[in-house]
Amino acid sequence: MRTLSAYQDFIDFFAEINWKEIWRGSEQTIQMLGFSMLFTVLLGLALGVLLFLTTRGQLLENKIVYTVLSYVINILRSVPFIILMISIIPLTKIIVGTSIGVKGAIPPLVIAAAPFFARLVETALREVDRGVIEAAQAMGASKWTIIWRVMLREARTGIIAAITITAVTLVSYTAMAGAIGAGGLGDLAIRYGYQRFRPDILVVTVGLLIVLVQLLQTLGDWLVRRLTRK
């Protein structure tokens, strides 16, 4: 009898939830995550490779480029996300035409995550055996070939791990973006769960975010395991 009533309480707790709203929030979160991840990887990979190549002793050694790039990345990484997001609203409007909704959230998400991802890519590339690059040079490979077919290939598990970490970080950023009108699960959690004292919605939205992070991490780990050849 007692168990049954506990079960009934559990059901009752979630009875008033508007699941349609939750579904829409989930959709928005996934959209924000997907698009911002796509651009973060493209931009961050390019930056990370450039950062690595311009390091002393590497293929495109260039102290000025490296120093400037490094400073910009450090600055972007030190600004708290919520502040960054507000302060680049004019830029966001230029890029996507609006500063709200899923669209408006993507530029700040990318600008916050790409420098972070670039650093992770740089670290992953540093792990590539110098000798393998040298062997490719000795075979007459061009710099592009070495970057694509040797460095990125050899660093692939490190880069996948970096993508996983960045994706998880982006999940929490999307929740913060919710605070200034981006929508998504974070938005629901803040507006309903926190501001309107709806613990049921808070539990569901946070629960879904936890599931999302777990899925991302599991997928990333699985890929890394599958592609490890050492």
Partner 1 sequence: MKKPSTSFKINQVLRSELINIPLNLCLYNPPSPVWHYDGGITLIQLEGISKRYKNGKLVTTAVDNVSLTINKGDIFGIIGHSGAGKSTLIRCVNLLERPTEGRVIVGGTDLTALKSGMLQDARKRIGMIFQHFNLLTTATVRANVAFPLELAKMPRAQIRNRVDELLKLVGLSEHGDKYPAQLSGGQKQRVGIARALANNPHVLLCDEATSALDPQTTSSILSLLLDINRQLGITILLITHEMNVIRSICNRVAVMDKGRVVETGDVLDVFLKPQMQVTKDFVAQVADTIDSGHFDNRPEGIVVRVHFIGEVTYEPILYEEVKKTSATFAILQGTVSRMKDTPYGQLVVELRGSAADTGSVLEGLRKRGLDVEVIG
Residues that bind partner 1 (CB under 8 A): 129, 131-132, 134-142, 145, 149-150, 153-154, 156, 227, 229-230
Q: Which is nearer to partner 1, 152 or 171 (CB)?
A: 152
d(CA 16, CA 185): 17
Q: Which is nearer to partner 1, 60 or 168 (CB)?
A: 60
d(CA 95, CA 68): 24
What CA dihedral angle connects 188, 190, 196 and 200, to 10 degrees?
Answer: 60
User: CB of 17 within 8 A of CB of 200?
Assistant: yes
Residue 154: CB minimum distance to partner 1, A: 6
Residue 138: CB minimum distance to partner 1, A: 4
Alpha carbon of residue 106 to chain centroid: 11
Q: Which is nearer to partner 1, 45 or 216 (CB)?
A: 45
d(CA 111, CA 55): 23
Q: Which is nearer to partner 1, 77 or 156 (CB)?
A: 156
Residue 153: CB minimum distance to partner 1, A: 5
Dig out the tokens for 154 from the structure: 């050899």
Residue 83: CB minimum distance to partner 1, A: 40
